[in-house]
Each structure stands twice: as C-alpha cells, then as structure tokens.
Amino acid sequence: MYRLNRYALFLSLFVIMSACCTVPVFGATASEIDHEVYKALHNLYSTSPAAVKLSRVAKGILVFPKVYKAAFIVGAKYGEGALIENGRITGYYSTAGASYGLQAGAQSFGYAMFFITKKALDYLYKSSGFEVGVGPSVVVVDKGMARSFTTTTLTQDVYVFFFDQKGLMAGLGIKGTKITRINPD
C-alpha cells in the first residue's frame, strides 16, 4: 500500500509539472492584465444579461480572465486579474489554490466576482489574502439562477460567474481559493 501511495504521489507531481510547463508564464504586466480583464468582462456581458444587471449595483468587480488548473489526485490552480471600481481598474490580484482528491486533467477558465456590499469589498482590501469560503458569503451563479435573476432579490455579498471553460476536468469551484493583491510591472 505504501509503495502505491508513493507511486501515485510521484505520478501526480509529474503530471502537474508537465502541465505547468505548457501553461503560459505568469507575471503579466499591468497593461496586459488590463487588456485581458476588459476583454473578458465584455465577453461575459455579451453572453450574460444577469452579469450586466449585477454590474450596475456592484461596488467592485474582480475579474480573472484566465485561471489554469492541472491535477492528478493533487491539483493546483493559478491566475491573475484586476479589480474594477466605477469602470476603472483599482488593483491587481492573483488567485491560487490547491486541492487533493479524486481528480485528473487540465483546464483553463475565467471568473468574475461581483462584490455587492461595501463590507465585502472592504474585506478584500483589509485581508492579507481573501480566502473564498471564509468571510463574506459567495454564491456561484449558474445558468438556471441567471435566467431568473433580479437585482431586487440580492441577498449575498458576492456573486461569481464562470466563463470560457476549456479543457478536460470535471467541475468548477473556487472554495478554498486564496486571492492576494499583487503589483505587476
């Protein structure tokens, strides 16, 4: 049994490292992040009327245009994005996470977090690393919820939209993800 676990760990690390070698290098410049964030937000708005409605009441929108995830039992994900307030970028952030369990594959996806309350946005500012699942309540907006969505029924602090999912891996989630402020060149 010990030999099998050691083999599985070695194989997992090999797969993750191989996937990471094919993922673009991170550390984009601020102007590169700006371009990708606005492009991703435009694409999200063109496909989701619910996101457009939320943008009108959100105190801030944190957009991660590309998050890369690779896993084989042990998984890791990472991406860079920006916070938009009143139509302009006010800060840059990274999103990172690790997971363990029955999982295998590689994928990329984007997501946008709509901060509805000032309290939730303040939590992002004050925390040394906003950990999803701790702090403000976060709700993932799926297609069913988006169809019946109205801004008069908002009850949560943060709403999340996923977009541009590519690759082979079952499920998307952000619980356990840590969001940290960065300073790109």
For the chain, what is the domain count?
1
Q: What is the pLDDT of residue 135?
A: 54
| Cα end-to-end span (Å), the chain | 48
Cα 167 off chain centre by: 16
d(CA 68, CA 76): 8
pLDDT of residue 175: 58
Range(s) of the domain holding residue 93 = 2-182
Tokens, residue 177: 């993800």
Residue 185, SS3 per DSSP: coil
pLDDT block averages, 10 residues each, the chain of length 185: 49 47 61 97 94 95 95 88 96 90 84 94 85 64 59 74 81 70 91
